[in-house]
Amino acid sequence: ASARESAPPPPYLTRRETLGDGDEITKEVPSTFVLPLLDAFNHLSERGGATKLCFDKASNAFTLRAARDMRVGDEATISYGQRPNAYLLLRFGFAVFDSPDEFVELPGCADELEWLMPGSKREADLYAENLHHAVRNARLDRDGKANTNLLWALRVLLASDEEYERVGGVKAFRDAFPTGLDGRDVPGSGAQLAAEASLALACAREMDLAGGSESLAEDETQLEAALAVLREVETECANNPCLSDEPRAYDGAGSSSDLATGMTSTDGTDATRGDEMTCDDVFDRCGTESDDSNYLRRLVSALEFRVGRKRILAKAVARYSPLREAFTRSGDELYAATMEGGDYDEKVG
């Protein structure tokens, strides 16, 4: 009973406010609470099955509610929010590989707003639909896809004046237009091609800042190697008897005598164990007397962040590059399809 009496109030407090005409209204105001021990829980996306923080009015207390069936021994997690790995790595020191909440920002897309003529009808149209926000907050999801509003905004920004009028203004550019061989002579296809090319360019810039597309394979190799070493160290830590609670007959290298036999070798190793790794060696590898394992975990997190980000950018470049047909169709097919009614080099170029 005493615990219930001292429990925190509901997460929304009510207060009465007086309006200008003298009338009073009741408003719910969000409140801030300190929840001890909650920060001890590890992060998992809510879409990945993290528990959800709720307020139980019946008990006047906060609860963690599981989103799935859990067994004894399963780890209970919470979500730190739908955050990209750039935020998680900077704020908390870890990254979630292939996170469903991952996205990559594309600040280069905002450059396209500079093409707007101040006071023009097109500027007014763009702001009326709030499409400028989509450009300033341009991003790619985990699959390397831009949202529909960003592509819509870029089509509006990059359409020629003639095409803009011919298609019918801002609302007519909401849906995508065919491009490439399928978009010949289709009004709006030029704006679609320009929008996708702009996206591909913004992605290429971000990839260059991250080391270039050639560095992706190198990062993947380093990540695989770092994971292999980390697993080896963690396995040694888990299996070595020196780290268990059982009594040990050996105190490690440099001890004056072995408790079981009283024998030591001249080089400080256990004469009865040959070349077997000593407890001191394992402690060093496991981070008990050094931070090697912590360093490995930080290295893995950094590499997972780099690899995940570059994979997203690589997918987007392949998706939106004007040359993607050349990536997915053989030269013979492309030649046969484009020779009809025009010059091959002119069409592909």
Strand-pair partners of 56: 61
Distance between CA 36 and CA 186 in Å, rounded? 61
What tokens were used for 116?
A: 């707007």
> What pLDDT is attached to residue 4?
39
> What pLDDT is attached to residue 264?
39
Tens-place pLDDT, residues 38-69: 888 999 888 778 888 888 888 888 888 888 88
Tokens 């080089």 locate to 267
Work out the angle at residue 137's Cα, subtended by the Cα atoms of residues 135 and 139, and round it to the nearest 5 degrees: 95
One-letter amino acid at 173 equals F
Q: Are residues 152 and 174 in contact, defined by beta-carbon separation less than 8 angstroms?
A: yes
Among candidates 101, 36, 49, which has minimal Cα distance to 75?
49
Q: What is the pTM of this model?
A: 0.69
All residue ranges of the chain with pLDDT < 70 are 1-22, 180-184, 240-291, 323-349
Tens-place pLDDT, residues 102-161: 999 999 999 999 888 899 999 999 999 999 999 999 999 999 999 999 999 999 999 999
**CA-to-CA dists, residue 141 to 101, 171, 342, angstroms:** 8, 24, 37
Q: Are residues 109 and 198 in contact, defined by beta-carbon separation less than 8 angstroms?
A: yes
> What pLDDT is attached to residue 19?
66
Distance between CA 149 and CA 192 in Å, rounded? 13
Strands 103-105 and 139-141 come out as antiparallel
Distance between CA 20 and CA 108 in Å, rounded? 46
The helix (H) or strand (E) run that includes residue 139 is strand 139-141
Distance between CA 219 and CA 304 in Å, rounded? 9
DSSP state of 8: P
